[in-house]
Amino acid sequence: MPAIYDFEVTTIDGIRERLDVFRDKTLLIVNVASRCGYTSQYRGLEALYRRHQANGLVVLGFPCDQFGRQEPGTEAEIREFCSDTYDVTFPMFSKIKVNGADAHPLYKFLKSQKKGIFGLEGITWNFAKFLVDRSGVVVRRYGSRNTPEDIEPDVIAALEAAPSSAARP
């Protein structure tokens, strides 16, 4: 089975990179959208990132248009929206699918590691979040309604925790 660091993603600027660049960081991976009722969570995600970046937190934003066509823009439009509206500085990636046969392999992996409500794998809406510890272990999954402020205690705990013994080399 692959480890989180084995996955390759494309930045919003079109650069392919392996998640290995985030090794030893605590990750909060979020499927995002610009025209969603939860879009204002960008503000909280950015604040969380700025407060804890020096301690090893990295928020990773993955635009997704699978839910109500709430992310119809191009990567350039998404980047501009995030920058101009929410001053987003955390890493953003190219638009992906999180469900179905065409789901990005990263999201297939995340969903297999932590099930959602009622034990289902599928992502139910935009702004679902996965918390990954410094060892690359998916430790928690949150739904759209869980705000960055709600989950900050878990983020802090993950930042303060020793690397997991379940980690892979």
Catalytic annotation present for 64:
no
Calculate the alpha carbon distances from 112 to 108, 109, 146 in Å.
Answer: 6, 5, 20
Three-state DSSP at 153 gives helix
CA separation for the pair 52, 7 (Å, rounded): 24
Q: Are 134 and 26 in contact (CB under 8 A)?
A: yes
Rounded-to-integer distance, Cα 126 and Cα 121, Å: 14
Q: How many angstroms separate the CA atoms of 111 and 151, rounded?
A: 18
Q: One of 9, 36, 57, 155 is an active-site residue; which one? A: 36
d(CA 148, CA 127) in angstroms, rounded, equals: 10
Instruction: Report the catalytic residues.
Output: 36
